[in-house]
Chain A
Amino acid sequence: MNSLAKASTLSSENISVWFGERQVLSDVNLIFPANKVTALIGPSGCGKSTFIRTLNRMHELIPGAGLAGSVFLDGEDIYGEDFDAVSVRIKIGMVFQKPNPFPTMTIRDNILSGLRLSGRKIGNADEIVETSLRRASIWNEVKDRLNDQAISLSGGQQQRLCIARSLAMNPQVLLMDEPCSALDPGSTRRIEETIKELSSSMTIVIVTHNMQQAQRVSDQTAFFLADDNTPGGVVEFGSTEQVFNGPIDQRTNDYVNGHFG
């Protein structure tokens, strides 16, 4: 990897999502500026995870999912004619809640799997493996056993391997859906440090249930909420500082101060 891709600005316009007849998200307008970390917070079932999936078209895998609105990557609509789901996902990477390294592959092959799966040329494999693992700050732990099976790693290491696997694709945007919720505090801290370092080269969107984590890693925060039997939506969106210390909406205030949720 000679040059890293430039970070991109991602924005959503009037995103609404339906699962069958039921609307789960209504009119979400958010902007994720380049090199910024945005945290999506809110109680369970408010549509955060659904929303983050619409940003790289992963929601399309759920049967019956329907979408209205647009998502712009540097001004281009990822649902437009110039894009298909595969080319979107190459540019916008994703890390899941549960570490999911490929169990049949070695650590090294896991890193290269993205390039192989998307059918791209692998230039200098060793360099890609090392750079990606270094960027996910797991290189020192695994450099002597790159040919071990990925599932021999601990949970925290597996998650950082999954981050490194996404980084090998050199994405412009990295989406993280509760990446630390299955991990211990030590692993969580290391992943948070990784997120901060990565934000210098990409745009990051992270869903989290952990208020402290949102405050530690993010530059701006969006608070999602779904009232009973109504679709979820953004209640408040602003700088993390403002959302946590001077929320405008009473409901945001209640949530960030732990009065409900």
Chain B
Amino acid sequence: MSFEPRPTVQPWARVNKSRRAEIIFAALVPLAIAIALIAFGFDRNLTLVGVFLPIQVVSASVVGYRAFGRRGVGDAALIVFVFFLASFVLVLLASVVTSLVTQGSKALSWSFVTQNNIYVSNTTSLDYGGVGHAIVGTLMIVGLTTLVTVPLGIAMAIYLTQSQSKIKNLVRTLTQAISGLPSVVAGLFVFSMVLTFSWEKSGIMGSMALLPLMLPTVARVAEEALRLVPVDLRYAALALGAPNYRAFFQVILPAAKSGIITAILLGVARIIGETAPLLLTVPINNGTSWNIFSGSIMTLPAYIYGYLSSLFSTSQNRAWGGALVLMIIVAVLFTTTRILSRPKSMKSKPTKQKASK
């Protein structure tokens, strides 16, 4: 008996060569039909869901059946559905981003980011005026909320993971309930306090209104992050003679660092675009204000809201520009935090392993 290699078999290839043509055919026919129908004037969305998807499922199933028998049918259908839904979500996201970028970029310029809104009317050219004051206000109000919420949220997460108290589950349920609180209600609550105690509406009132919206997100995600830290590590620390608080701050918290940063980012993302609470509690203005403790201060959501309902096209462009700036701020915030919080081991491992060899 001889053991000759079998050149036709390529175990690493996902698809048998002889079936490649079949697969391409099965993929192109439904597409061609759909394009033809749309070209004849059929409704695009209806064609995609009502014609393209079923034909694609059938054709993929046929190919699957020919290749693997009955089990191939289910596989093929599932693959088609998953791809279809995934592309649906991607298209949704892409269209939001492109509409933001195309509309917003008309207004976006260095002066738009740096200047404030004084002396700007509905007909002022886009070269003048901008969202500088709103960026300052948003960063300050959201920053203050974050500053207060993060310690509170982490403390709550510690309580929910470390405590053996009986009312823990009640606290967790209430936290979840608060996360379902409509933001306008949070705004109304602070607004009613302003009226009751005759406080002054100001940036700090906005921060107060945002706090109950951010807190549950931070607490719940941080709780999950702390829960993922193996209990072995806590035992190891305590067996070395650590008091509970040192074990927590030196071992458990660092091990959960990346998850806790995610918690903070999700919390910031939750509130940075909130409009209703700010409209109710923060008086708006057109100039730049660095004082969140009294007086009026502008925020990006309020800026967008104010200009979006305008009939003038330059004003609408300003609103789109503000939305684009908000999205860019979130993107920059997320990427920098992610890069800064990357675990050390991921950065140093490959080079060190080479060196040790």
Interface on A for B, CB 8 Å cutoff? 56, 58, 61, 63, 86-87, 89-90, 93-94, 96, 98, 100-105, 113-114, 116-119, 144-145, 148-149, 151-152, 162, 165-166, 169
Contacts and interface: CB of A to CB of B under 8 A. Distances in A.
Interface in B229-264: 230, 232-233, 235-243, 246-247, 250-251, 254-255, 257
B119 to A, nearest CB: 53
B161 to A, nearest CB: 14
B237 A117 contact: yes
Nearest to B247: A117
Given A58-B235, A104-B255, A93 B240 contact: yes
A113 B252 CA distance: 13
Contact of B242 (A58, A86, A152, A162): A86
A55 to B, nearest CB: 11
The 3 closest A-B pairs by CB, nearest first: A117-B242, A90-B241, A118-B241
Contact of B239 (A94, A105, A148, A151): A94
B309 interface: no
Nearest to B237: A117
Given A113-B251, A145-B355, 5 more contacts: A56-B239, A100-B230, A103-B345, A104-B251, A149-B344
Contacts of B242: 86, 114, 117-118
Contacts of B255: 102-104
Contacts of A90: 240-241
A116 B237 CA distance: 10
A104 B235 contact: no
B125 to A, nearest CB: 54
A100 B238 contact: no
Q: Which of B232, B240, B344, B356 has the most CB of A within 10 A?
A: B240
B233 A61 contact: no
Contacts of A56: 239
B14 interface: no
Contacts of B345: 103, 149, 151-152
Contact of B251 (A89, A117, A119): A117
Nearest to B353: A152
Contacts of B353: 152
Interface in B175-229: none
6 contacts: A87-B241, A94-B239, A102-B254, A104-B251, A114-B242, A162-B236
A73 to B, nearest CB: 14
B171 to A, nearest CB: 18
**Which of B236, B255, B345 has the largest count of A CB atoms less than 10 A from its CB?**
B236
Given A100-B233, A152-B352, A119 B246 contact: yes
Nearest to B244: A86
A76 B251 CA distance: 31
B356 A104 contact: no
B240 A100 contact: no
A104 B254 contact: yes
B20 interface: no
Interface in B313-357: 343-345, 348-349, 352-353, 355-356
A89 B241 contact: yes
B238 A58 contact: yes
Interface of B: 164, 230, 232-233, 235-243, 246-247, 250-251, 254-255, 257, 343-345, 348-349, 352-353, 355-356
Contacts of A145: 352, 355-356
Of A101, A144, A148, the most chain B CB neighbours within 10 A belong to: A148
Given A104-B255, A148-B352, A152-B353, A89 B239 contact: yes
A102 B235 contact: no
A169 B240 contact: yes
A86 B349 contact: no
Contacts of B348: 148-149
A196 B350 CA distance: 36
A117 B232 contact: no
A169 B239 CA distance: 11
B199 to A, nearest CB: 44
Nearest to B250: A117
B233 A144 contact: no
Nearest to A142: B356
Nearest to A165: B240
B257 A104 contact: yes
B238 A144 contact: no
B232 A63 contact: no
A243 to B, nearest CB: 28
Contacts of B352: 145, 148, 152
Contacts of B239: 56, 58, 89, 93-94, 96, 166
B155 to A, nearest CB: 21
Contacts of B232: 96, 98, 100
A149 B349 CA distance: 8
Contacts of B246: 116-119
Nearest to A103: B255
Contacts of A58: 235, 238-239
B95 to A, nearest CB: 41
